[in-house]
Structure 1
Amino acid sequence: MNIAILGLGEAGSRFANDLAGRGITVFGFDPSPRYPLHDAVQLMRSNAEAAQQADIILSVNLSAVSVAVAEDVRAYVSDQQIYAEMNTSGPETKQQIARLLALTGVRFVDLAIMAPVPPGGILTPFWASGPGAALFTEKLKGLNLNITLLGAEVGEASTLKLLRSIVYKGVAAVIVEAVEAGKAYGLEAYVRSQISSVIGGNDDLIDRFLTGSRTHAVRRSHEMEAVVSMLQSKGVEPLMSAATLGNLQKLSRENSR
């Protein structure tokens, strides 16, 4: 089996390395690769060159470039291949990409990454929907991946992921702000005790929320932008999700200083 990874950032590079380590032939492309790669990962010169070598194509890009990546490969894919779109955009963008690739016959999968990629790597939980989801799941069965097969509708997996993000990213934003306030008043221990009373007395979980929010602030801000857009498209005023987005953007600015 040949797999192409389009986008070799933190997640894509980890997927490429893990798959190569399992004996899969991996073709990868990224315009600016900066993460270490397994010796067996074959770096190609373009998205198109990587895609045309593969049985399965994993597009692991920011939502901002996901449509452009699909346009790059459109003339080079066929009905003999599977195209799994893994960006964190809303269902409308996933549907746009599926329409863009429809005439190629490629089997399209809306593939949602349902947990932070480190430390799970390719064993991170995925939810799959779309016309190619069942075949995708079957093809990868031998790798014992953690894939939940949903329906055949493009957008189902991404919708469920973003609805879940309202909760998880919102809770994380409250915890970040509460701990910051506790530190400002010299009462961090008190604030942590209040948070623990809500989340089950797990102080390690508080630290994971704090660390994860800061470490992945840029990616999660893109995710929450998609949430805000999705809710607005349904006439839901995203008051709390917009605040969560603002918190992540603040962390991103602090990280860049």
Structure 2
Amino acid sequence: MQIAILGLGEAGSHFANDLVDLGVTVTGYDPAWTGPALKRALHPSVRQAASNAEAAQGADIIFSVNLSAVAETVAAEVLPVLKPGQLYAEMNTASPGTKQAVAALIEPSGALAVDVAIMAPVPPKGILTPLLISGPGAALFAEKFCPLGLIISVVTGTMGDAATRKLLRSIVYKGLAAVIGEAITAGRSFGLEPYIREQIGTLIGGNDALIDRFLEGSKTHALRRSHELEAVVAMLTAQDVDPIMSAATLTSLQNLIDPS
């Protein structure tokens, strides 16, 4: 099995390395990391291509793991080399509308689109991070990867359904993290952090370590999670749901982004 990974960031690099360890042939491309100096260590067996199209040509399965803002651009770049029977896995945290637009772009090629929602932080589990999938190629994707031990749940055959479920969950998870962060900051300002931690603990089972994980996770992954909330806001707006709380969560994440 030959896999192309378009985007070698945190998720893409982990997937590439883990798949090579599972005996899969992997070719990767990332426009920001051409040449020998990569920001993330890659397995020596991961071949680096010179473009998205070069990486995708001849691959059995293509992982698009970059940013939702470039999802359609990347699909358009590889369209000329796509062939019937290939799987194009759109793995970016994008709105259902973006996932459907990607599927429409590649449909004329005969390749099958898969909406892949990554349902937890990729480190530490890497390619064994739970995946929720839908779309025309979902059943074939599961057939290819389940024997390798990947944790995959197929929801429907409709592109965008996996993304919808992930983003609905994000409203709660990321919103809760934002509220906890604001409450802890406020508690500290009054010299009452132990008190507010106790109050939060009554809602989450008294798990103080979980509070710290919420705080650290929001800081460490602020940029990625802000893109996720942008997709949430876009999805809700398209449904004529006023994203009041999600927009506020987005602002709180943007305020945590490290400018360096």
Q: Distance in 1 between matches of 2:169 and 2:253?
A: 17
Q: How does 1:21-170 map to 2 (within 5 A)?
A: 21-33=21-33, 34-170=39-175
Alignment partner, residue 2 of structure 1: 2
Deviation at 1:3, TM superposition (A): 0.8
Q: Distance in 1 between matches of 2:49 and 2:4?
A: 10
Could you tell me which amino acid in structure 2 is paired with residue 100 of structure 1? L
The answer as to 2:183 corresponding to 1:213 is: no
Which residues of structure 2 form unaligned runs of 5+?
34-38
Q: Distance in 1 between matches of 2:110 and 2:155?
A: 21
Alignment partner, residue 248 of structure 2: 243
Deviation at 1:53, TM superposition (A): 3.1
The answer as to 2:205 corresponding to 1:200 is: yes
Q: Distance in 2 between matches of 1:11 and 1:185?
A: 39
Q: Distance in 1 between matches of 2:193 and 2:107?
A: 54
Tell me if the contact between 1:128 and 1:148 (Cα under 8 Å) persists in the aligned partners: yes
Q: Distance in 2 between matches of 1:148 and 1:170?
A: 25
Which residues of structure 1 form unaligned runs of 5+?
none
Could you tell me which amino acid in structure 2 is paired with residue 256 of structure 1? P
Deviations 1:177-204 (A, max 9, x none): 1111111111111111111110111111
Q: Distance in 2 between matches of 1:105 and 1:150?
A: 22
Q: Distance in 2 between matches of 1:256 and 1:203?
A: 29
Could you tell me which amino acid in structure 1 is paired with residue 91 of structure 2? M
How many aligned residue pairs are there?
Answer: 255
For 1:140, what is the secondary structure of its paired residue?
Answer: helix
Alignment partner, residue 11 of structure 1: 11
TM-score, structure 2 as length reference = 0.96
Aligned identity (percent) is 61
Q: Distance in 2 between matches of 1:28 and 1:98?
A: 21
Q: Distance in 2 between matches of 1:221 and 1:120?
A: 22
Tell me if the contact between 1:2 and 1:25 (Cα under 8 Å) persists in the aligned partners: yes
Could you tell me which amino acid in structure 2 is paired with residue 74 of structure 1? L
For 1:89, what is the secondary structure of its paired residue?
Answer: coil
Deviation at 1:217, TM superposition (A): 0.5
Could you tell me which amino acid in structure 1 is paired with residue 81 of structure 2? Y
Tell me if the contact between 1:114 and 1:127 (Cα under 8 Å) persists in the aligned partners: yes
Could you tell me which amino acid in structure 1 is paired with residue 209 of structure 2? D
Deviations 1:66-101 (A, max 9, x none): 111001100001112100001111100000010000
| Structure 1 ranges of 4+ moved more than 2 A | none
Tell me if the contact between 1:27 and 1:53 (Cα under 8 Å) persists in the aligned partners: no
For 2:114, what is the secondary structure of its paired residue?
Answer: strand
Q: Distance in 2 between matches of 1:234 and 1:149?
A: 24
Q: Distance in 1 between matches of 2:85 and 2:135?
A: 16
For 1:32, what is the secondary structure of its paired residue?
Answer: helix
For 2:203, what is the secondary structure of its paired residue?
Answer: helix
Deviation at 1:54, TM superposition (A): 1.1
State the Cα RMSD in Å.
Answer: 0.9
